[in-house]
Structure 1
Amino acid sequence: MHILVIEDEEQLCRSIAEGLRMDGYETDTCLDGDEGLELCTTENYDLILLDLNLPGIDGLDILRQFRETNSSTPVLILSARGQIEDKVEGLDLGANDYLTKPFHFEELEARIRSLTRRRFIQENVCLKCGHISFDTRTRKAHIDSEELSLTRKESALLEYFMLHQNRIISPEELIEHIWDGSVNSFSNSIRVHISSLRKKLRAALGNDPIQNKVGQGYILMEDLK
């Protein structure tokens, strides 16, 4: 999952981003409203964390303009404004959730899991595809009852494939949702990580559930073990 954090408190912004990356999310950050508006309207994110008191464009103005062209990407407001009027205004403008500062990171993680599962119409914490299971809370994958040892990037790839089973996913789509803004479509990184993931799945299952459709992308099919 690819998340944008728009937060002007540099230490808090850095702390949130580091925590999310440890959880397996690719995370971009910015510290002012002008850059935040440009990023959320030109890039494709799975979730936006939005502060309200920003230099430049105010967070509510960002939300208002963003919702004029994008009604589906979840927006979670993070703000020190705790008055009910502020929460109502934010939610009425199209925010999906509102978390008042200060907050515990564990609560932020839970809110993010809820919003991302909701977007992909996935109510269960545990994703399943044949003999493969992936726990979105613990970030652990299993083949039947045996844990599969994956890197952070491999875990993110497997989660995305399992959220979009039986659908061809282009390399460009994977880059948008699994990599941060430093990777471009010409990078060999995606092929290296997918190759490694497929090798581990093949060793555990006896077959390769991820198929490469030449010129189109990759598709996760239910394994036949």
Structure 2
Amino acid sequence: MAHRIYYIEDDAGIAEGVAFFLRRKGFEVITAATVAEGKQLLGKGLPSVVLVDWNLPDGSGEGLCRWIREKWPMLPVIFLTVRGDTRDIVNGFQKGADDYLVKPFELEVLYSRICALLRRAGQAGGSYLVCGPVSMDKNQMKVFLNKEEISLGSLEYQLLAALLEHKNHTLTRQKLLELLWDANGNFVNDNTLTVAMKRLREKLSNPACIKTVRGFGYRMEDVEE
């Protein structure tokens, strides 16, 4: 599966040029032009890396980076800036971004920086899973409903992880039983799965993003509010 990159940049020409180059390198690239659009993207699902322009129409890249760090501390962020902003961006870099580049930059340099971040982060984007109001930090083994941490039992946690890792794909009950067996090393029967799903839904306030596919299994997918 290709790594996904979010690029928050209000200059459409620059955004499309960078996106075209990175797509040719095998990345999936989604662009946004404002802080608000960037937050909306991140709320629907996390990428492997976020590229953030320093100056945006509705706020600063530093502010967006702070917001990201509050929610997903290990998600890789690279600042991009024009030369006049370098001093500010170095301060912002020291406050939380993982790297920065000064415009105009060589696209091959950007590519090498992204690859280095992915190696260093151990593909950190895959450690943060989001669907609707539900998010999971696999590094810290924490689950959140909106911004409130939710306490789950081991089986409930593994069940949610399986659904999030296969987001937008229906998992049969048999497949879930196999995944839960592998995760826990213990036998999980069909009735136990039913009980775990019921408890999971209750603890997450019965989110619309967890779907039952009758006679087949379950699916987790984003739902338009």
- TM bucket normalised to smaller: 0.5 to 0.7
Distance 1:26 1:170, change over 3 A: farther
- Aligned-pair RMSD on alpha carbons? 2.8
**C-alpha displacement of 1:42:** 4.3
Per chain length, whose mean CA-contact separation is higher, i.e. which structure has more relative contact order (CA < 8 Å, sep 6+)? 1
Q: Distance in 2 between matches of 1:186 and 1:42?
A: 16
| Identity across matched positions, percent | 33
- Cα distance in 2 for residues equivalent to 1:186 and 1:20: 27
In structure 2, the CA distance between the partners of 1:44 and 1:121, relative to structure 1 (3 Å rule), is closer
Q: Could you tell me which residue of structure 2 aligns to residue 173 of structure 1?
A: 165
Residues of 2 paired with 1:109 and 1:174: CA distance? 28
Distance verdict in 2 for CA 1:73–1:86, change over 3 Å:
same
Equivalent residue in structure 2 for 1:14, among 2, 13, 16: 16
2:66 maps to which residue?
64
Superposed, 1:34-183 pairs within 5 Å as 34-120=36-122, 172-173=164-165
The 1-side partners of 2:100 and 2:15 are apart by 17
In the alignment, the residues of structure 2 paired with residue 44 and residue 13 of structure 1 have an alpha-carbon distance, to the nearest angstrom, of 19
Q: Give the corresponding residue for 1:190.
A: none
Larger Cα Rg: Structure 1 or Structure 2?
2
Deviation for aligned residue 1:6: 0.3
Give the TM-score of the pair, scaled to structure 1. 0.54
Deviation, 1:35, is 0.9
* Alpha-carbon distance in 2 for matches of 1:58, 1:29: 16
> For residue 47 of structure 1, what is the amino acid of its counterpart?
V
Residue aligning to 1:27: 29
Distance 2:15 2:49 in 1: 15
Report the CA distance between 1:2 and its aligned residue: 1.1
State how many pairs are aligned: 139
* Structure 2: gaps (5+ residues): 125-160, 183-225
Name the stretch that deviates more: 62-71 or 33-42. Answer: 33-42
TM-score w.r.t. the length of structure 2 is: 0.54
Greater shift after overlay, 21-30 or 41-50?
41-50
Q: Structure 1: where are the runs of 5+ without partners?
A: 123-168, 176-184, 188-212, 220-225
